[in-house]
Amino acid sequence: MLAAISLSLNGQPHALAVDPAMPLVLALRDHAGLTGTKYSCLQGACGVCTVWLDGAPARSCQVTVADAAGHDVTTIEGQQGADADALRQAWVAGNVPQCGWCQSGQLMHAAALLKDWRRRPPDARQLRDALGAVACRCGTGQRVVDAVAAVLGRQDPA
Amino acid sequence: MIRRADTSAGVASGSAPPPAAGPRVTRRRLLLGGASAAVVLAVGVGWRASAAPSPERALWACLLPDGRLEVINPAIEMGQGARTALARVLAQSADVDWAQVVVRDAPYDDAYGNARFGGRQVTADSSAMLHYAPLLQAAGARLRGALLAAAARHWRVALAGLATAPGRVLHPDGRRLSYAELAAAVDLTDAPDPAGLPPPLARWVGVDTPRLDAADKTTGAARYGTDLRPADVPVALLLRGPSPGARPTLVSDAAARAVPGVVAVLPLGDAVAVVANDTWAALQGRRALVAASGALKWAEQPEAAAYDSEATLARWQALVEDVGVSGHTVRRQGDAAQALAGAGSRLAMSFLTRHVAALPMEPLNALVRPRLAGLGAEVSASTQAPSLDMRAIARAMKTAPPLITVNRALVGGSFGRRVDNSAAADAARIAKALGGPVQALWLPEDDLAHGLVRSIAVVRVEAALDAQGRLAAWRHRTVADSTIARMFPDRFETEGRRDQTMVDGQEHGYRCAHQQIEYLYRPTGLPNGFVRGVGAGFNTWAIESLIDELAVLAGQDALAFRLAHLDDDRSRRVLDVVAQASGWGRGPATDGSVLGLAFMAFRGSLVAMVAQVRPLGQGATLPDFEVPRLWAAVDCGLAVQPDLVKAQVEGAAVMGTGFALQEVIHVRTGRRQPGGVGDAGSAAGWAGYRPIYPQQAPRVEVVLVDGGERRPQGVGEIGLPLVAPAIANALVRLGRPRPTGLPLG
């Protein structure tokens, strides 16, 4: 029997009795019932599995359950607040998602950047390059940029 | 009580007993949770033309007692927005309030099949809107007619003076009846011919709405096929050999079985399945099996193990020039050979493309749950083709296809890849061996290493100009593998070794008296599959590259040359619009960037694209240029949801940029680069393939052009094929040599 590993999951204490070396994304999906976090490459390359670890974005295929022990994990299901609401509204208004598989990662990544950008507004290039680090096979990248630009009250992100 | 309808539409009200079979008249009842049986209305629409499928059995909409309209979505939702756009078509013709529309996906039933695919339930070839919109439009119109008739009976007035507004019928004196009030009185067997009624005002079609599934895709609530595995159902990953079709001998499964959570290790003929209680254990078990020396031996098939993609391309270059070797003739008009031979001014070039992968981001998946006593199975899968999954599973389980039920799930991207869902047969074989349920996954890295790819291709295009610089003769020969030959070999042979998906894009719209167009089938050593844009991905790139060269030869501007050879106003219009949008002909840009142009007719739509290419400084890594912007002018007939059309074109253009610049799978001695789990020396999986990221993607501006065509045409793939030739044509205008191979980088 595996010893349970404790962490905070979307604000609630949670215990995971799994292999400590298990990537966090697989523990979330297979053992915590949180399938909102998706994965694709399992190499830390695509960014689809992005969650927040203590409020900072992390690619959860590269974080083990042991790494997350004792830390705060926020997934798309637990992403709340004014910024998250604003992003979601902008996503819907801008018809951003297509298949949607990467969109949890896009949003978690964007929400983290938005926190910084509220303090220090990015230029157009920074917007595109920073947001564009999460892969999307449907090609929604420019709509992601436009949606975040809308939340930041900008007119012409291009 | 029931009589034959005077049109091909047949309908029935739900309070009557179930189907009395008439050829085109249906009575059907759909019971919904919470809805009373008395007032559920079913609208069936007959379909005269087709033999195999039977959409007259199909239910397309239910008017609920509260006035809400439940619309059945027959197509697979995989990101293209079919669920939203198709429902808008029915909502428009029924004149219901969009806020009162509830969309439900069609059940597994070939009544919802697409005639393009022999009546099978397949969503592909950009054909969902083309095929289903007329059916949904007719169903909605039929319903609206019946509502008008019911109101006329109620008010004892002539139907002619009545009108509708969303969700209600209007009397000329100002009285009104809501659809909810009329629901119980509707008699669909006595509905007037919708053709005789003035159509409702355009409220929903041609007018954008946020897609219905967008909100759930921002909260994690959207559940895809991969997400549907209950905790008590094991998951299986497959280990495959170094080259296609290699057969395993499992010497020892001890290493894999030593991983906690691994429940079975099963040799399957062309793979070994590692079955585990969770995904991590399956991954670890598979890794352990690879790492354990001598645990597994692979017997490769000599031909597959000898396949070399570059050597094959070299052979095909010789083959394509040998016009003595003929293939399937796609078009023969006049005498191209003679016209070419006698021409003073001619050009001939060969263009190569290499293997690329559709690479959807959700794993390929199938969850197969065998029924008791061997009575088939229940399946959940992210698939484009429930009907084909069913066949594959029935074959793998050696059972009758009708005993397999496939429940489609929300799909995390397809791009053609999930027409032939490789996980389906794997899951079936494993479930049969286990005697219990299992979900099989093909991770994206597995799909790259072992999955279906777009064929390499060599396209030879030759053309002659007359003394006035007009196109006088054209010959086009494509050498490529075939997906149809692999999936439906009998059909392939009976149709003369023709594969529509490989000849797609071969026929151009330029005026030319003498034309000879051929497709030569040659197998490669990789399993061929459908990839967004299919054959147009290599055919259009060759055609539009040569057209630019011909324009130079004729001493004309690339735009003027194309316009001079197009008689069709819609075609000319998209070229004019894209030229306007991109600033074509405006002279050199200050940043050194140049524009390249391309045009095609594809899937019933007309597309013109301009690429902006900017050279990077000395010492830049390849590609030593960037593509900041693309402009596309699109005439897709009726744009049911204009913003969804734009999104499809944007997305396909991004994928097209990846294919043009950098995405490629090389094969040597049957081994792919990037390769699979445990393949020595392989660039690692997903990242090794270098799929395009949003950071590198051009900004795509899409302009929709109304050319007067009222029927919706295909849009899912049309953004892809022109990207490569538009970029290549820009590079030539930068003074670089004509690119003849993809990827360019």
A128: which chain B residues are within 8 Å (Cβ-Cβ)?
A: 694-695
Q: Which residue has the higher pLDDT, B559 or B53?
A: B559
Reference A10, options A63, A82, A76, A102; nearest CA is A76
B218: which chain A residues are within 8 Å (Cβ-Cβ)?
A: 76, 87-88, 91-92, 97, 103, 107
Half-sphere exposure of B142 (CA within 13 A, CB side): 31
Question: At A120, is the secondary structure helix, strand, or coil?
Answer: coil
What band does B43 get if pLDDT is binned at 50, 70 and 90? low
Neighbour count for residue B678 (Cβ, 10 Å): 15
Q: Model confidence over B561-582: pLDDT tens digits?
A: 999 999 999 999 999 999 999 9
What band does B447 get if pLDDT is binned at 50, 70 and 90? very high
Within 437-496 of B, beta carbons closer than 8 Å to A belong to 443-445
Give me the residue from B214, B362, B363 closest to A95, CB to CB: B214
Kindly tell me the sign of the dihedral angle through the C-alpha atoms of B105, B108, B110, B116: positive
Q: Do B220 and A100 touch (CB under 8 A)?
A: no
Backbone angles phi, psi at B211, to 5 degrees: -65, 145
User: Do you know the residue count of chain B?
Assistant: 745
- The pLDDT value given to residue B151: 96
Kindly tell me the sign of the dihedral angle through the C-alpha atoms of A75, A78, A83, A86: positive
Q: Model confidence over B385-402: pLDDT tens digits?
A: 999 999 999 999 999 988
- The pLDDT value given to residue B372: 84
B696: which chain A residues are within 8 Å (Cβ-Cβ)?
A: 132
Q: Do A97 and B211 touch (CB under 8 A)?
A: yes
Within 684-743 of B, beta carbons closer than 8 Å to A belong to 684-687, 691, 693-697, 699-700
B279: which chain A residues are within 8 Å (Cβ-Cβ)?
A: 26, 29-30
pTM for this structure? Answer: 0.94
Within 382-411 of B, beta carbons closer than 8 Å to A belong to 410-411
B412: which chain A residues are within 8 Å (Cβ-Cβ)?
A: 38, 99-101
- The pLDDT value given to residue B676: 64
Reference B104, options B384, B408, B526; nearest CA is B408
Residue of A60, A138, A143 to mutate for B, most B C-beta atoms under 10 A: A138
Question: At B710, is the secondary structure helix, strand, or coil?
Answer: coil
- The pLDDT value given to residue B195: 84
Alpha carbon of residue B487 to chain centroid: 17
- The pLDDT value given to residue B679: 57
Mean pLDDT for the stretch of residues B679-684: 54
Q: Do B695 and A128 touch (CB under 8 A)?
A: yes
**Both tokens of residue B352?**
């190569």
**Both tokens of residue B421?**
């869902």
Reference B362, options A95, A98, A143, A90; nearest CA is A98
Q: Model confidence over B244-301: pLDDT tens digits?
A: 999 999 999 999 999 999 999 999 999 999 999 999 999 999 999 999 989 999 999 9
Nearby residues of B112 by Cβ (< 8 Å), 6 or more positions away: B53, B55, B58, B72, B74, B106, B121
Give me the residue from A43, A104, A142 closest to B685, CB to CB: A43
Give me the residue from A48, A102, A139 closest to B653, CB to CB: A139
Reference B91, options B205, B207, B235; nearest CA is B205
Alpha carbon of residue B712 to chain centroid: 16
B59-B61-B66-B67 Cα dihedral, nearest 10 degrees? -150
Give me the residue from A26, A35, A137 closest to B278, CB to CB: A26
Helix (H) or strand (E) holding A73, with range, is strand A72-74
What band does B344 get if pLDDT is binned at 50, 70 and 90? confident
Kindly tell me the sign of the dihedral angle through the C-alpha atoms of B671, B676, B677, B681: positive
- The pLDDT value given to residue B620: 75
In sequence order, what E strands does B179-234 have? Answer: none
- The pLDDT value given to residue B6: 27
Neighbour count for residue B598 (Cβ, 10 Å): 30
- In the DSSP assignment, the letter for residue B25 is -
Instruction: Tell me how close the Cα of A119 comes to any Cα of chain B, in angstroms.
Output: 23
What band does B373 get if pLDDT is binned at 50, 70 and 90? confident
B656 with B724: CB under 8 angstroms? yes
Residue B311 has pLDDT above 80, yes or no: yes
Its ipTM equals 0.98
Residue B438 has pLDDT above 80, yes or no: yes
Q: Model confidence over B611-639: pLDDT tens digits?
A: 999 999 877 777 899 999 999 999 999 99
**Both tokens of residue B60?**
């397309």
Which regions in chain A score pLDDT beneath 70? 1, 155-158
Residue B47 has pLDDT above 60, yes or no: no
- d(CA B528, CA B357) in angstroms, rounded, equals 10
- The pLDDT value given to residue B59: 85
Helix (H) or strand (E) holding B133, with range, is helix B128-155
Q: Do A136 and B655 touch (CB under 8 A)?
A: no
Q: What is the mean pLDDT of chain B?
A: 90
Nearby residues of B638 by Cβ (< 8 Å), 6 or more positions away: B205, B206, B709, B710, B711, B712
Nearby residues of B79 by Cβ (< 8 Å), 6 or more positions away: A97, A98, A99, A100, A138, B411, B412, B413, B414, B651
Residue B218 has pLDDT above 90, yes or no: yes
- Nearest residue on chain A to B685, alpha-carbon basis: A41
Helix (H) or strand (E) holding B502, with range, is helix B500-503
